[in-house]
Every structure is written in C-alpha cells, then in structure tokens.
Amino acid sequence: MHTQLLQPTPEGIEEAARLLREGHQVAIPTETVYGLAADGLNGTAVAGIFAAKERPIDNPLILHIADEQDWAPLVREIPENAKKLAAAYWPGPLTVILPAADCIPAEVRGGLDTVAVRFPSHPIAQAVILHAGCPLAAPSANLSGSPSPTKAARVMEDMQGRIAAVLDGGDCEVGVESTVVDLCHTPPRLLRPGGITPEMLEAVVGPIEIDDAVTHILQEGATAASPGMKYKHYAPKAQVYLVKGTPEAYARYVNAHKAPGVTALCFDEDIPHLEVPAVTYGRRDEPMEQARQIFDALRQLDEQDAQTVYAACPSLKGVGLAVYNRLIRAAAFRIINTIRVIGLTGPTGAGKSTVADAWRQLGVPVIDTDGLAREIVQPGSPCLTKLAEVFSPAVLREDGSLDRAELARRAFASPEGAQALNAITHPAIIARTQQLLEEAADSGHPVAVVDAPLLFEAGMETICHHIVAVIAPADLRQKRIMARDTLDAEAAQRRMAAQQPDSFYCRAGVSVLENTADEEALRKQAVTLWQKEEWSTP
Ligand code: AMP
Ligand code: MG
C-alpha cells in the first residue's frame, strides 16, 4: 500500500476525511500526539487500526469527537462529573471513560462495556472529524510498544505502507497522550496522566484516585483497570534504566558506567557534567517542555544506536507525572536509585533512637523499621492475611486487628515458627523501606537512614551503602531499658540476654558509636560522625 503524505490544506483535510469515510486508516495530528484514525463506528475500519499498529486486541481505543453534541449517542449516560470536566477542559487533552452505548463496536471497547471519549482541541483534528462525519477511533500512530509520534515524519517511520495516508500538521503541542479518567468509578480514577494534571481534575470534581499502575509495575495476578497499562510501552530498542537521585548523583552514576553504547537521556542542564553521548528531553524544571520532547528523544536514541540508556528521572509534580509514567514504561520499570542508604542498628537500650533523632534534626529522612513492622500488619493487609493463614486465624482479634501476644505465643514456640514469621514480615518491611527510599529520592534527598534493630537478621545490609552500629556497656543499657520500659533489673537482663552480642554488630566496615555517658554526649557524637563522614555528604 502506498501511504500518501497529505498537507494541512482544505484539500488535504477533505482527502483525509474521504479516505476515513470509506473505511481507510489515516494518521492525523492532534494536540497530544499523532493519532491513527478510522471510522469509530465501523468495526472493520477499526480492526484495520489494530492490524496496522500490531496492537493487542484487548487494548481499547479512544473515540474522538469535534462537537459536544456528538457525545450523547456514544454513551449510556453523561453523569454530572463528566459534564463538569467537559465544560472545564474540552476541547483538550482529556479522555473520559463512561458506560458504552450499544452502537460502539466491540473492537473499540476492547471487549469492555465502557467507552473512552475525547474532544481534541487541534483545529486540523477537529476539521477532519467534522468532514468525516463520524467519531474517529484514534490511538497513537506508532507501532504498538514503540514511542508515540509527535511529528509526521515519525509516523511515516512506523506506518509507511501500512495505512492510506498521513496528514502533516507539524509538531504536537502537548507531546504525551491525553489524560484518561475513569468516571465509572467513584471517586473518579486517573488511569493515565497527561496534559490535564491531577490537580486540574481535582479542582473540578474533588478528590480523585490515582491508579497504582500509573507509577508502579502491575503486581503479578493483578488485573489492569485500563488494558493499556499492562504492556511495556514507548520503548526504544536500547535497554533504558530510570535513574533517581540528585543531579550530582545522576552525573556521577552515568560517568561511572561510561562504556561503548551507553547513552544518557537527560535534561539540558546535565550536558556539561556528562562524559557519555547524550540526548536531552528539555530543561529540568520545565515539565511541559519535557512532555513535548520525550517521545522524540526516545526515538533519537535508536538513531544514535544507543544500547544502554540511563535516563534522568523527571519530577512527578504536575505534567511531570505524565512524563514519568511514559519513561518508567520505556524503562520497563527498571529503576536505579542513587540515594545513599545509611543503616543504623544495634542492640536494644544502647541509644539507637537518640542517634536517629540527632540525624533527623539535621534534616536527614529516617525510616523507622519498627514503625513499618506495625504498619505492614494493619487490618486487611496481605501480610496479616498471610500470618493468619500460616499460624492460625486465632492471631486475629474480632475487629480484624493483630493479637500480638497470641502471635508471639504461636510463632516463638519453636525456631521454625520464628523463621516462618520472619519469612513473612521481613520481605514486606524491606519492600516498604524501598518504597520510602524512592520517595525520599524523589523529593531530592541524596542520603537517607534506615533505622533497623534487625538490620542484619533481615538481610537489609545489602541495601545499605554504609552501616552505623550503636552499642553501650551492659550496665548502662540495663538502666536505660529499666527506665524506658519500666522493668525490674531481672526482666531487663532477660531482654538483653535474648539479644545478639556487641560483636555481632561491630563487623568489618561498620562505624561504631559507643554510648558511654549521657544522652547529650551521644547526640554530639552522632552529629560529629555524620558531619565528618564522606558517605553522608551529597
Ligand atoms: P492510545 O489510544 O494508544 O492513546 O491508548 C488509549 C488508552 O486508553 C489505552 O491505554 C487504553 O487502555 C485506555 N482506554 C481506552 N478505552 C478504555 C476503556 N473503555 N476502559 C479503560 N481504559 C481505556
Ligand atoms: Mg499508544
């Protein structure tokens, strides 16, 4: 098939509309990305889109209209929230999902009983829709899985010979696909971030939910709320890694991994600091610019024959969330976290909390794993369900909360029991710790502390760049435990006897803080250590 390149003249627009009316597929410009359009009420024409893109048939399409009047026949009802969003943001880069009317072909719905509708603001898109006289189904005009096209030449790269025509409308203004919000759900649920930000949606309809899949990989066995979310997507041929951390840490990481084929996908400001070939996708603090450039930058990586790409992570704020959402899929969810992790451990009563507190006062994020151990067994949590399954439903109180004493009786009855308990809780604590470390990195912290009495027992030393152990003489610890937990001497000694000896903590490479005097002295020691050590500086 010959693919015509049409100009955005009245004749070009009329020709595109004619081809669409006849059931052909034509790529058209929109303000988000180029769309691969076909008559959205003609199942055969829509099937042609899936064939041209090699798109999985369960991934539904968006219907594009050019007049709000054209909305009503496509959906079973238009709820209040939908009217408000349309009034605020149509025409524009917002797609809403509503119950589908009977006239919507199964191909468009991807077999679901809902339909996605959008009213684009691009004048050429509007003209083509009006001239064609039907709603146009139009996913991005790329081969399934590759970066969406934001200029006609990029459409040609993927679609030449596969479709009837490409209508050239220049560069797309937004650069990432529309925001998709599911209004069949209360509260409204964001399935795909785009040019209309979560804040903009909330300003109109109040609180919304952001689907987990927007920023995280779908857990095994979970079903996608939006089928498109389950696929690896937008990817160049190279292996992309998303590098989280400060600009300094990013440059340090990339330069340390310099090798043939290694390329940076970075912000303009990073260029002078990098020793490898680089493609930029805008300035660090300009998310709209990043959105406009990201897809083309991903395609440039292929042109440069990049093999391994280290991408600088965008901010998740505003339109940045949409950029992050595309990049994390281009990276197939491979994340490198450059935040430095300092493990803080030691036996009970030695003064670990005092040290954590002194560092917290310096502005360092401290993750308290004791707190996490309580958090992961909240009623309804997967961890608690598992505990009830493995030990006995008797570890649950009537209100669904954990009966700690009962769990301890059952788990600590044997070494195997204790092991089974740890096998359930430790991985959950580590996973949550990793999440919090990622959040700390996202908010620009170069270093964070993980306060973990069971650091070594839980295998957490592997995520730490450096470890600090706090120890104290037995008599001092005994006094502290008695005062803290109002225990008598004997009970305090029993507790200490159940713990590891100091030698367990004072291993090679571990910095040891010895608490020999009062709390104030330990605080000072902690601050001094932090300020003099190379591992604690940005
Ligand atoms: P694209 O057309 O490539 O921009 O992709 C359209 C996106 O909208 C896909 O990720 C779909 O999964 C999503 N989508 C379209 N229709 C629906 C629907 N009825 N329910 C949920 N998601 C939808
Ligand atoms: Mg797409």
| DSSP-assigned states of every residue in 89-147 | H-SSSEEEEEEBPTTS-HHHHTTSSEEEEE----HHHHHHHHHHTS-EE--BSS-TTSP
Mean pLDDT over 205-225 rounds to 85
Q: Decide the pairing of beta strands 165-167 and 4-6.
A: parallel
User: What CA–CA distance (Å, rounded) separates 447 from 28?
Assistant: 47
Q: Taking the CB of residue 264, how many other CB atoms lie within 10 A of it?
A: 29
Q: Where are the domains of the chain?
A: 4-212, 239-337, 340-533
- Give the model confidence (pLDDT) of 139-155 as tens digits: 999 999 999 999 999 99
Spatial neighbors of 284 by CB under 8 A, at least 6 apart, are: 247, 267, 268, 269, 270, 312
Percent of the chain with pLDDT over 90: 82
- Give the model confidence (pLDDT) of 230-266 as tens digits: 767 888 899 999 999 889 889 999 999 999 999 999 9
Q: What is the CA radius of gyration of the chain?
A: 28
Which neighbouring-strand residues pair with 239? 308
Q: Which fold has domain 239-337?
A: Rossmann fold (3.40.50)
The CA-to-CA distance between both ends of the chain, in Å, stands at 57
Task: Tell me which ligand sits closest to the C-alpha of residue 149.
Answer: 2
- Give the model confidence (pLDDT) of 454-465 as tens digits: 999 998 998 899
pTM across the whole model: 0.80
Spatial neighbors of 76 by CB under 8 A, at least 6 apart, are: 98, 99, 100, 101
Is residue 288 within 8 A of residue 315, CB to CB? The reply is: no
Residue 104 pLDDT exceeds 90: yes
pLDDT at 501: 92
pLDDT at 509: 85
133 torsion bin: left (phi>0), alpha (psi -120 to 50), beta (else) = left
Residues with CB under 5 A from ligand 2 (ion): 139-140
User: What CA–CA distance (Å, rounded) separates 183 from 11?
Assistant: 38
Is residue 320 within 8 A of residue 251, CB to CB? The reply is: no
Residue 538 pLDDT exceeds 70: no
User: What average pLDDT does the structure give for the chain?
Assistant: 94
Cβ–ligand 1 contact at 132 (below 6 Å): no
Domain 340-533 in this protein, CATH class: alpha beta
Of 96, 192, 329, best ligand 1 pocket probe by most atoms within 8 Å of the beta carbon:
192
Are domains 4-212 and 239-337 of this chain identical in fold?
Answer: no
> pLDDT tier at 498 (50, 70, 90 boundaries)?
confident
Mean pLDDT over 215-237 rounds to 77
Mean pLDDT over 484-495 rounds to 90
Residue 129 pLDDT exceeds 90: yes
Task: Tell me which ligand sits closest to the C-alpha of residue 214.
Answer: 1
- Give the model confidence (pLDDT) of 407-437 as tens digits: 999 998 888 999 999 999 999 999 999 889 9
How close is the Cα of 494 to the center of ligand 1, in Å? 61
How close is the Cα of 181 to the center of ligand 1, in Å? 10
More confident residue, 475 or 221: 475
| One CATH from 3.40.605.10, 3.90.870.10, 3.30.830.10, 3.20.20.70 for 4-212 | 3.90.870.10
Residue 521 pLDDT exceeds 70: yes
User: What CA–CA distance (Å, rounded) separates 356 from 365?
Assistant: 9
Residue 267 pLDDT exceeds 90: yes
Residue 218, classified by CB atoms within 10 Å of its CB into exposed (0-12), middle (13-18) or buried (19+), is middle
pLDDT at 223: 74
